[in-house]
Chain A
Amino acid sequence: MRSGDKKPSHRGEGSAQRQMRWCPGKKSARLVHYSSKKRVLQCFRNNPHTFLFLVPSLLGLLLFFVLPFGMVIRHSLVDRPVNGKYVGLQNFKNLLENKAFLLGAKNTAILIGISVPLAVLLPMKLALWLERAIPMKSQLRTTFLSPMLVPIASVVLVWQVLFHQNGTLNAFLGTHIDWFHSPWSILMVLLLYLWKNIGYHTILYTAALAAVPRTYIDMANLDGAGRTRQFFAIKIHFLAPTIFFVILMSLIASMKIFREVWLLTGSYPYESLYLLQHFMNNTFQTMDYQKLSAAALMLSVVMGAIIAMLLGIERCLERDTENE
């Protein structure tokens, strides 16, 4: 900081406080950010008809997001979809007592608990490895992206052949296990999930690592910091937004893995593979909108809480790099 500069505030909440920060090197960007926001507000005040141009988008948002969301809330509070009576939180209580819902929630939580950390950490490790000078680096990067190109149905077929009772894995191991009907079935799904998603996350990390300023790495090398120290002291701060993004994408992908599970095992799989989405898909098919809406609301609240927590952590991590 130069003398005469304003003391930066460390409270960090709200854009009003942020604009008070004195960020050398980024001063102009901060000021531009503040100016554009105020300019927008002023524009609306001076030209109210400007708002009319936003109406189509707002209408679309209302019609396709807000209104359906409202309908879901309504369905979760009544006892039947048509001419239903208000029953308060009874649907939620019934849901929490429903064994299938609890089983699905448990399996989904286990899957997320295992798959998301792996989907965050493994690609990071791979990206760090790719950062070094290794042969065929660009070919490897391309290879990592290839799982995204394969259609899901083909992947499912291959997985069925691999893990069938008379499949490749059993032939290799000399066993006769029906993997999708055993307690190990969740590992098969985990493998599929990681295979599909690791490549894309690796590319994201690689791009983020490339954006780390070399000056800090060079200075760290001069100071004698090892790779691990460099990673935790320097690189991870710059990787924070990417980590947060990868966590978010992993969460979403872990929910979407239901598609593969459904193709592999159908609507009513073995109990260790019964996910929350199975419950919701089946209740949708039976038009049990009350259960479905209640489950969807509970899921959205939980996901919202997780994402809010992640946002908070991300802000903390990002704050440390703002003065850089």
Chain B
Amino acid sequence: MKKRLLFSFVVIVWIITLSFSGCSSGVSSPEPTDPKSAIITTHIDYDGLNLIDIVAADSGYLALASNEKNNLISIGNDLRIISQEEFQLSHPIAMACGGGHNWYIAANEETYKITVYQDNDVFFDTDEDPGWATAQALFAQDTLFSVINGKLYIGQNQIELPSSDLSQQCFFSSVLVIKEQIYAQLVQRKENGAADQWLCPIDKTTKTVSIPDKTFPFYIDHVSWDGKYCIILSGSKIYQTDGLTCVELCDLTLGGINVDDIKRLILCQEDTLLVLQSEGIRIVSLRENADVEQITLGVYLPDAEINQIVSSFNQSGSKYRVAIHEYSSREDLNHALLTDEIDIVSTLDEVLMKNYAAKGILCPISENTCNLVLSNIVEASLYQGTCYYLPLFVAPLASSIPTETVTKIVDAKGGIGLSDILGLVEADCLASFKCDTKTTVLSKIITINPDCWINWNDRTAQFLSDDFISILEFCDKYVLTDEEVAANQAGIQSSGKPLFDVLVPLQNLDYYSFRIRDDSITGRKGLFFFQLPLSNYSGIALQPSAFYAAVQGHNKDAGQEFIDYIFSNDFWVKKPSTPAEILSHRYPANNRHFRELLDMQLHLHDDTEEYEMIVEAKDGLSKLITQADHFAVAIQNDISDIIVEEAEAYFHGDISVDEAARRIQNRVETYLAERG
């Protein structure tokens, strides 16, 4: 028995060991950096490839990798591997690119010397021993400049030192280009271990170097230039140099980079540095904080996950930086929004749904708060054309109101406010909610009013609050009963005309959510809001999110950059993309999925009258989304189902409003506790 148990245990352990997957390749997530550092880095590894050297090529980069077989790898500008081929030469040391050729410095197995190759052909042989070879090559001004084991070569010719005084303990360490002048770094070791270095200009025509009087302040370990700027690495610090003076840009150690394992530097985009190391490539942003355009994310209750998302974004190398500004109360946040103190951006990540209410959107539709705060927001924003929060909120209500009614108000006031809608509803409920039952109105309110009563950080709910109870009472008081709705629907069907006209002008898309399907309850055809599943694999849509875009007038570019990043394929690739990964870790929706959904809708309605409308909506939506710098995510369906289910009992008169709120509170608390 004991043996059997032992055997079973061993088998199980073996199976568990087998089931653990190996390391994955590709881009790893950004590592945390010191928040006080001036640089941000992102690390990219290439599936265990040992990169030896990398140079800028016409469309991206060329890299050499030494593994079981040497490989020549083409890497695109986005640092993804484009192609990989076996490298014909063995033991490469350095490479350059230019003049239509690839230049390699490699050990020649036949002669056991270092040879310079032009593509696969021998360019010239040296007498250098490949045993402890160091080399660096540069192609500029139609000439190959190389430094091999301390000796300088221009083309095929070795260049001697001009002065015999410096011949002792002197060697060339690198060649670099600054302002179209080519220099060779000459180093002289002193007895005390220190070194003097000069940047010696090279005359390509006479194939000579001249030694300046003044030494260069420090030893250049690595250098890179992009035709405009030259940056050097000395020790752990990055300097920008013009050949005479140096300006320190940053310290690589502050970005967690091991400076002893740097094989090459490449400067690209004037503010981004690629650092080639054994373990891959690191992207270093050289922008100082002051130069980075900052987006402030106003949050009501920040938590570790929001910090992590923001930190990941800040480490991505974007020239925009997101900072978090905490507000202790929703009112303070609303005030800041109204006075334009902060620019609000958000992602579609479920994490931020927790603070959705803090994003300036949404307070409960309570007469106590709405008229005071939300009307100010919408009226101020609509008139000023900056912030369109409230229309998102009132969209479900507005969509219940006849177009001509809405249009009249919009024409008169330039927008529509919650007070207008409430007023319309109270004045003529029949006209406002002809086809909506209490439950559907409540559904709309809570669907577009996510998480106002839920504190995700503490995992608590506040459905016993006056605000929520007032919503239930509002729905019960002003909305029609099922019988009245049925009577209205009969009238509609007999006339054959839908109540809600689909021809909402697209320039007013801000006001409305869009739907592209028929609503069997209301009998409306036309534009309906999207339910965008986080995953469209095999019909799994466990966490559908309906998202809406608002155009914010100020600081649109910054917001657009941020949103572009969130929606970029690069961001999407960095995050796991299988359904399990998506749904288990609340990754944001992606505009690729959104476009696919739009295409699917078009396909479904291919030969129907909705087709053109959908095309127009698609274009409008795409434009809106690309311009948007603010997104909102709807409430969890589970929570809305719980609310509606208990509210129904209240609407039927079975229980009191307090009892309904109590039951909702009880069940939602269980829901929240589950996700703790």
Residue ranges of A at the interface with B (Cβ–Cβ < 8 Å) = 14, 62, 66-67, 69-71, 73-74, 80-83, 94, 97-101, 103, 165-166, 178, 181, 266-271, 274, 279, 282-283, 285-289
Contact = CB atoms under 8 A, between A and B. Distances in A.
Contact of A14 (B1, B12, B21, B673): B1
A67 B666 CA distance: 39
B642 interface: yes
Interface stretch (B249-257, B562-570, B573-581): B573-581
Contacts of B674: 98, 100-101, 279, 282-283
Contacts of B579: 287
A66 B9 CA distance: 11
Contacts of A269: 667
Given A67-B19, A70-B12, A82-B576, A178 B654 contact: yes
A99 B16 contact: no
Interface in B616-636: none
A287 B667 CA distance: 21
| A-B pairs, 9 with minimum CB distance | A70-B15, A99-B673, A100-B674, A100-B673, A287-B584, A70-B16, A268-B667, A287-B583, A82-B581
A66 B11 contact: yes
Given A82-B580, A99-B676, A287-B584, A270 B667 contact: yes
Contacts of A283: 674
Given A74-B16, A165-B654, A287-B542, A100 B581 contact: no
Contacts, number: 89
B654 A83 contact: no
A71 B663 CA distance: 38
Contacts of B576: 82-83
A16 to B, nearest CB: 11
A301 B251 CA distance: 53
A66 B542 contact: no
Contacts of A99: 673, 676
Nearest to A83: B24
B528 interface: no
A80 B29 CA distance: 15
Contacts of B663: 181, 270
B583 A286 contact: yes
B645 interface: yes
A165 to B, nearest CB: 5
Contacts of B666: 270-271
B21 A287 contact: no
B638 interface: yes
Given A70-B19, A103-B670, A285-B542, A81 B581 contact: yes
B676 A100 contact: yes
Interface string B635-676: 000100110010001000011000000010011111101111
B670 A286 contact: no
B595 interface: no
Given A67-B15, A70-B16, A289-B580, 4 more contacts: A14-B1, A94-B676, A103-B670, A270-B666
B585 interface: yes
A101 B670 CA distance: 10
B20 interface: yes
Contacts of A67: 15, 19
Given A74-B16, A286-B583, A83 B21 contact: yes
A70 B11 CA distance: 9
A279 B1 CA distance: 36
